[in-house]
Amino acid sequence: MEKRVTFQGWLLPLCLVLPQILVSAVFFFYPAFQAVWQSLFIPDPFGLSSRFVGLGNFEFLLTDSYYRTSFFTTAIFSTLVTVVSMVPALFLAVLADRLIKGAGVYRTMLIWPYAVAPAVAGVLWLFMFNTRVGVVSWYLGQLGYDWNHVLNEGEAMGLVVVASSWGRISYNFLFFFAALQAVPKSVIEAAAIDGARFWRRFFTIVLPLLSPTTFFLLVVNIVYAFFETFGVIHTITSGGPQQATTILVYKVFSDGFVGQDLGSSAAQSVILLVVVGTLTVLQFKFVEKRVHY
Amino acid sequence: MTLRTKIIAGTIAAMSGWTSTAIAATEIQFWHAFTGRLGDLVAEQVDTFNKSQSDYKVVASHKGNYSETLNAGIAAFRANEQPNILMVFEVGTATMMAAKGAIKPVHELMTEVGATFDPSAYIGSVKGYYTSTDGKMLSLPFNSSTPVLWVNNDALKAAGVDPSTDMSTWEQVDAVLDKVKASGSKCPLTTAWQSWIHLENMSAYHDVPFATKDNGFAGLDTELALNGPVQVKHIQTMGDWAKEGKFMYAGRRNEGGANFRAGECALFTESSAGYAGIKAEAKFDFSVRPLPVWKGVDGAPQNTIIGGASLWVMQGHDAEEYKATAAFLNFLSSSNIQAKWHQDTGYLPITIAAGEKTKADGFYDKNPGTDIAVIQMTAKEPTANSKGLRLGSFDQIRGIIDEELEAVWSGDKTAQAALDSAAERGNKLLRRFEQANR
């Protein structure tokens, strides 16, 4: 039977949830409301005057074919970042899980990149792939490949994906590793006795048991790719070449904080909020059905 | 008196002594965007001013790059904590001008505090960028430069080209690039700030409009005109050069400078203020030439326009602080300070007197080529097409131009298609700016 803690009266429970409600109100509801409100105006940068335009900002954005292309760019970018940050993390976690000697050192080394801020990671990768002095681009040049992410759109996308995913691999590794440790040894041993080899055991037993973690990471990583990657884009490509790496959140940042167009920027964040909200709801509705807790 | 009251009394005495000295000098805040050598030079200017008198004290703070400094100023204004003086790059000029309740025009400040101020002392093509259509100075030009052609003489010699060869037209440059390319160079020509040099200055230099309504000076209802035949011809030629390997695109800002200073590129179009860096790092013989023009364009060469930043005085401070601000701005415009700044940095002098002093000091004789930018800017009286640019959302429009030019360099678009698209996209932003500031 389920255990339930019950309170007498409502004062104590209210006091207990109040901090959470306050934090949500101050850091989420208030700014979100502000964004929605601001998206209905075209203000001047200094806040001296503001013109009400109704849905004019949304109309301005959605009739812009470049903005619509940005949705497509974002979809590609987010999918790639999610895959590139989750698959290697799972692979490394499986390897680390089998280690007996030196597991601690190995783990620590793998977690390190997470401590590097996205913008700094961007600079690191930019230096490695710099078309003039980059180590990697130099070796590629030796192999006869002319690396130029300044003009080549595919290479630019590849670079920002790798730079955004790199630190994330550590984060995902940590969760996968913890989940792997929780897989009951008895089940695995039983399968081994039945003659299942490692990869078969992995795909038929371990992976399904990891599904709650995988699902959690999927949601969290997509949110990360949508919202937290503008530092990387800003330092590496500034959205270029042309608009190859202009993802939605980078456009929010550059229109608002470089272009001083706060109305459009606010409208874009509202659109982004709706997109990510919808995506998360869809994930919970359809993907979660396949998760075994 | 107990020990405790003694301590409190002592503390109060010490504090009041400290505050009274602080009150004696009026303190004003100056936010700028300079680091490194330029930052040191600004700090030196401020220090010289503070030591030259005891009534006023200027506190200078670095607030990030140009965009970040402008943002910091705007955010501070919204929080009612704006500095007295804010450095704003030339691209932000229209934004500042439109914010009438946030800024105090320099001419107004000078009349208000009764300071001596003679607008005619400033170089026309420098102050023109920051002057209203009826000739009133709105902000004080601080660092101004103009694009020139930097030449790696050694690279030309290696390609069998006489370094003193005439390169005053793009046709002549084309011939030089062919020879340099034939000698096996991977980078015959590169550039910094592509929109500023190859569209904005290119237009002014050939006396064709970059935007209607006198490049935006005559009204917010301006539209981009950067897709005219002269601009299209220039950009298409550069696109062809990119395809043929005669022009190497390095990036949207001044990334190409690293290639040139390392000796990899023969020619480099960059600001005259690139002087300090090139002089310090280049291990080859270099020279500086005027920006080339296209043959057969009427009125070319006209004059080039400036880039850089000016100082804006912010609203909302008391009379004493405005006096201090006026005194500091006048100090910065004085000949000695300006001449030193010009000689140290390669930025243009803002007053005629500072230019003459530099000449009298013999600086141009000792550093040949350093006067080319000044001559290029001042040889002709500016026209409506070459006074400067005043466009809202200009930072974003430059971003759009960068994107479209990249499409030309990579061969995805023709110059005509790219510039048409840039004009169309830019015009949408101009209309929004007009809407926000009507």
Q: How many separate domains does chain A show? A: 1
3-state secondary structure at position B308: strand
CA of B410, closest CA in chain A: separation in Å? Answer: 6
Q: What is the pLDDT of residues A125-168, one digit of tens each?
A: 999 999 888 999 999 999 999 999 999 999 999 999 999 999 99
Residue B438 reports pLDDT greater than 80:
no
Residue B8 reports pLDDT greater than 60:
no
Q: Which residues of A touch B255 (CB under 8 A)?
A: 132, 150
3-state secondary structure at position B261: helix
Cα B398 to Cα A238, A254, B238, B404, distances in angstroms? 13, 12, 18, 10
Cα B417 to Cα A221, B135, B225, B226, B245, distances in angstroms? 39, 37, 14, 12, 22
Bond before B163 cis per omega within 30 degrees = no
3-state secondary structure at position B289: strand
A58 touches chain B (CB under 8 A): no
Q: Which residues of B touch A60 (CB under 8 A)?
A: 428, 432
Half-sphere exposure of B152 (CA within 13 A, CB side): 28
Residue B381's region, left for phi above 0, alpha for psi from -120 to 50, else beta, is beta
Place of tokens 């790092």: B281
Write the burial class of residue B283 (CB in 10 Å: 0-12 exposed, 13-18 middle, 19+ buried): exposed
B341 contacts B38 by C-beta, under 8 angstroms? no
**Model pLDDT, residue B18:** 47
CB-CB neighbours of B334 under 10 Å: 13
How far apart CA A58 and CA B229 sit, in angstroms, is: 35
Of the candidates B74, B249, B428, the beta carbon closest to that of A260 is on B74
Q: What is the ipTM of this complex?
A: 0.88
Q: Can you list the domains of chain B with their CATH numbers?
A: 3-145+306-366 (3.40.190.10), 147-304+392-436 (3.40.190.10)
Q: What is the pLDDT of residues B210-229, one digit of tens each?
A: 999 999 999 999 999 999 99
CA of B95: which chain A residue's CA is closest? A45
Taken in order A205, A206, A209, A210, the sign of the CA dihedral is negative
Q: Which residues of A touch B402 (CB under 8 A)?
A: 240
**Model pLDDT, residue A2:** 55
Residues 6 or more apart from B201 whose CB is under 8 A from it? B146, B147, B291, B304, B305
B417 touches chain A (CB under 8 A): no
Picking from A252, A45, A42, the residue whose alpha carbon sits closest to that of residue B82 is A45
Residue B149 tokens read as 């052609």
Residue B52 reports pLDDT greater than 50:
yes
CA of A258, closest CA in chain B: separation in Å? Answer: 6
The reply to whether A12 falls in a domain is no
**Model pLDDT, residue B436:** 85
Residue B249 tokens read as 């695109």
Residue B256 tokens read as 């190409």
Picking from B425, B432, B423, the residue whose alpha carbon sits closest to that of residue B393 is B432
A255 touches chain B (CB under 8 A): yes
Residue B18 tokens read as 């400290």
Residue B21 reports pLDDT greater than 50:
no
B77 touches chain A (CB under 8 A): yes
Size of interface A-B (CB pairs under 8 A): 93
Cβ pair A258:B428 closer than 8 A? no
How far apart CA B320 and CA B331 sit, in angstroms, is: 17
CA of B78, closest CA in chain A: separation in Å? Answer: 6
Percentage of chain A beyond pLDDT 70 is: 98
Place of tokens 């200055």: B201
Cβ pair A241:B410 closer than 8 A? yes
Q: What is the pLDDT of residues B294-334, one digit of tens each?
A: 999 988 899 999 999 999 999 999 999 999 999 999 999 99
Residues 242-281 in B contacting A (C-alpha not used; CB under 8 Å) = 249-252, 255, 258-259, 262, 264
Residues 6 or more apart from A124 whose CB is under 8 A from it? A116, A163
Residue A10 reports pLDDT greater than 90:
no
CA of B412, closest CA in chain A: separation in Å? Answer: 10
Percentage of chain A beyond pLDDT 90 is: 72
Residue type at A183 in one-letter notation: V
Residue A232 tokens read as 């990387």
**Model pLDDT, residue A35:** 93
CA of A259, closest CA in chain B: separation in Å? Answer: 5
The reply to whether A3 falls in a domain is no
Q: Which residues of A touch B410 (CB under 8 A)?
A: 151-152, 241-242
Residue type at B65 in one-letter notation: N
B393 touches chain A (CB under 8 A): yes
Strand-pair partners of B147: B271
Residue B55 reports pLDDT greater than 80:
yes
Cβ pair A240:B67 closer than 8 A? no
How far apart CA B368 and CA B230 sit, in angstroms, is: 31
Q: Which residues of A touch B252 (CB under 8 A)?
A: 238, 240
3-state secondary structure at position B120: helix
B432 contacts B220 by C-beta, under 8 angstroms? no
A243 touches chain B (CB under 8 A): yes
CB-CB neighbours of B63 under 10 Å: 18
Q: Which residues of A touch B425 (CB under 8 A)?
A: 66
The reply to whether A178 falls in a domain is yes
Look at A34-43, B115-124, B142-151, B181-190 and tell me which has the smallest mean pLDDT.
B115-124
Residue B286 tokens read as 């270099």
Mean of all residue pLDDT scores within chain A: 91
The reply to whether A209 falls in a domain is yes
How far apart CA A158 and CA A166 sit, in angstroms, is: 12
**Model pLDDT, residue A3:** 62
Residue B72: pLDDT band (50, 70, 90) is: very high
**Model pLDDT, residue B367:** 85
The reply to whether A124 falls in a domain is yes
Q: Which residues of A touch B418 (CB under 8 A)?
A: none
With vertex at residue A219, the alpha carbon angle to CA A218 and CA A224, rounded to the nearest 5 degrees, is 95
A154 touches chain B (CB under 8 A): no
How far apart CA B367 and CA B344 sit, in angstroms, is: 12
A242 touches chain B (CB under 8 A): yes
CA of A66, closest CA in chain B: separation in Å? Answer: 9
Of the candidates A46, A66, A261, the beta carbon closest to that of B102 is on A46
Backbone φ, ψ for residue B313 (5° rounding): -95, 130
With vertex at residue A282, the alpha carbon angle to CA A278 and CA A288, rounded to the nearest 5 degrees, is 145
The reply to whether A34 falls in a domain is no
Residue type at B281 in one-letter notation: E
Look at A43-52, B146-155, B210-219 and tell me which has the smallest mean pLDDT.
A43-52
**Model pLDDT, residue B36:** 84
How far apart CA B148 and CA B259 sit, in angstroms, is: 17
CA of A26, closest CA in chain B: separation in Å? Answer: 19
Residues 6 or more apart from B5 whose CB is under 8 A from it? none
**Model pLDDT, residue B307:** 93
Residue B2: pLDDT band (50, 70, 90) is: low
Length of chain A: 293
The reply to whether A49 falls in a domain is no
Residue B20 reports pLDDT greater than 50:
no
How far apart CA B281 and CA B437 sit, in angstroms, is: 45
CA of B255: which chain A residue's CA is closest? A132
Q: Mean pLDDT over residues A93-104, rounded? A: 84
Q: Which residues of B touch A58 (CB under 8 A)?
A: none
Segment (H or E) for A261: none
The reply to whether A37 falls in a domain is no
CB-CB neighbours of A14 under 10 Å: 11
Q: Which residues of A touch B409 (CB under 8 A)?
A: 151
**Model pLDDT, residue A132:** 86
Residues 110-149 in A contacting B (C-alpha not used; CB under 8 Å) = 131-133
pTM of the full structure: 0.89
Q: Where are the alpha helices (DSSP H) in chain A?
A: 11-24, 30-38, 56-62, 65-98, 103-111, 118-129, 135-142, 153-181, 185-193, 198-201, 207-227, 230-236, 248-253, 262-282
Half-sphere exposure of B281 (CA within 13 A, CB side): 13
Cβ pair A151:B402 closer than 8 A? no
Q: Which residues of A touch B407 (CB under 8 A)?
A: 242
Residue type at B330 in one-letter notation: N
How far apart CA B331 and CA B325 sit, in angstroms, is: 10
How far apart CA B122 and CA A260 sit, in angstroms, is: 31
A42 touches chain B (CB under 8 A): yes
Cβ pair A44:B395 closer than 8 A? no
Mean of all residue pLDDT scores within chain B: 91
Q: Which residues of A touch B98 (CB under 8 A)?
A: 44
CA of A251: which chain B residue's CA is closest? B396
Q: Mean pLDDT over residues B70-87, rounded? A: 95
How far apart CA A166 and CA A115 sit, in angstroms, is: 11
Residues 6 or more apart from B393 whose CB is under 8 A from it? A259, A260, A261, B95, B429, B430, B432, B433
B95 touches chain A (CB under 8 A): yes
Segment (H or E) for B271: strand B265-271
CA of A43: which chain B residue's CA is closest? B436
Which CATH number do you get for residue A240? 1.10.3720.10
Residue B7: pLDDT band (50, 70, 90) is: low
B210 contacts B225 by C-beta, under 8 angstroms? yes
Residues 169-198 in B contacting A (C-alpha not used; CB under 8 Å) = none
Half-sphere exposure of A173 (CA within 13 A, CB side): 24
Residue B15 reports pLDDT greater than 80:
no
Q: Which residues of A touch B191 (CB under 8 A)?
A: none
Q: What is the pLDDT of residues A191-227, one digit of tens each?
A: 999 999 988 999 999 999 999 999 999 999 999 999 9
A258 touches chain B (CB under 8 A): yes
Bond before B301 cis per omega within 30 degrees = yes
Instruction: Give the structural domain span for A159.
Output: 66-290
